[in-house]
Amino acid sequence: MPRPDSAPTSPTFSSAPPAQNPSPPLDPTGRDVLGATDIARCLRRIAHEILEHNKGADDLVVLGIPSRGVELAHRLVALIEEVEGARIPVGAIDVTMYRDDLRSQPTRAPRHTDIPGGGIDGKVVVLVDDVLYSGRSVRAALDALSDLGRPKAVRLAVLVDRGHRELPIRADHVGKNLPTSHAEKVQVRLSGHDGIPDVVRIAGGEPQAVRA
């Protein structure tokens, strides 16, 4: 039976924005603060810091916060495995359902949560995110973790710490501290996630003129 090609489209009310909004283009007037080699160097250092702090790879579980934190988590784990030669469980923890700003924003599509088979009970969980800003995502991630189990310890690794914390949260491992103003945007692009070479760029805000 052939399918009719004149399928009338059902009338819809205002359609929601696309679930996965593609990353907005990099601001061409922004300045790059980290390039691909810098990012690789940061991650390698963080990988060593994690191992040093944990005294080895025992009980480590690395969880990225979607979306770019997941790619960073996988890169970190590859680097840790390179050093230790042991398999490290890696996954993703989505924080959408735990955010405190859901009501003030259009509905967000939740991302995939992927907890490695061994679970997180009694493990040292390293949360990985690209930018640490208000700390609210990390707060949400901590709540999400507590619904999933009881880790022995939770650590936080971020590629960029841009300041302006609104909650008592700090990172254990920081790729680069970037003092910024609220008006500025920190744009992170990663080759696997965005299909362009790794870069961290600061865009917008008037302080740019002051610094120039």
Partner 1 sequence: MTRHLLSSADLSREEVEAILDTATEMHDVQRRQVKKLPTLRGRTVINFFFEDSTRTRSSFEIAGKWMSADTINLSAKGSSTSKGESLRDTVQTINAMAVDALVIRHNASGACQQVAQWVDASVINAGDGTHEHPTQALLDAYTLRSHLGDLDGRHVVIVGDLTHSRVFRSNVITLKTLGAHVTVVAPPTLMPSGIADWSKADGFATAWDLDEVLATGDVPDAVMMLRVQRERMSGGFFPTPREYTVGYGLTRPRLTALLARNPLALVLHPGPMNRGLEISADAADSAASVVLDQVSAGVAVRMSVLYHLLAGSEGAAA
Point out which residues pair with 132 in neighbouring strands: 161
CB of 206 to partner 1, least distance (A): 28
Site for partner 1 in 7-26 (CB under 8 A): 7-16, 18-19
What's the sign of the alpha-carbon dihedral 35, 37, 40, 41?
Answer: negative
> 103, 117, 168, 195: which one contacts partner 1 (CB under 8 A)?
103
| Rounded Cα–Cα distance for residues 119 and 93 (Å) | 12
CB of 29 to partner 1, least distance (A): 30
> How many angstroms from the chain centroid is the CA of residue 190?
11
Site for partner 1 in 144-163 (CB under 8 A): 147-149
User: Which DSSP state fits 30?
Assistant: S
37 binds partner 1 (CB under 8 A): no
4 binds partner 1 (CB under 8 A): yes
Of the two residues 32 and 101, which places its CB atom closer to partner 1 in the complex?
101
Q: Identify whether the C-beta of residue 202 lies closer than 8 Å to the C-beta of residue 131.
A: no
- Alpha helices (H) in the chain, listed in sequence order: 36-54, 68-84, 136-148, 191-194, 207-211
Stretch of residues binding partner 1 (CB under 8 A), selected from 26-34, 69-77, 140-148, 176-184: 140-148
| Rounded Cα–Cα distance for residues 176 and 34 (Å) | 9
116 binds partner 1 (CB under 8 A): no
Phi, psi (degrees; rounded to nearest 5) at 95: -110, 5
Of the two residues 43 and 145, which places its CB atom closer to partner 1 in the complex?
145
Site for partner 1 in 57-96 (CB under 8 A): 94
Residues of this chain that interact with partner 1 (CB under 8 A) are 1, 3-4, 6-16, 18-19, 94, 97-98, 102-113, 143, 147-149
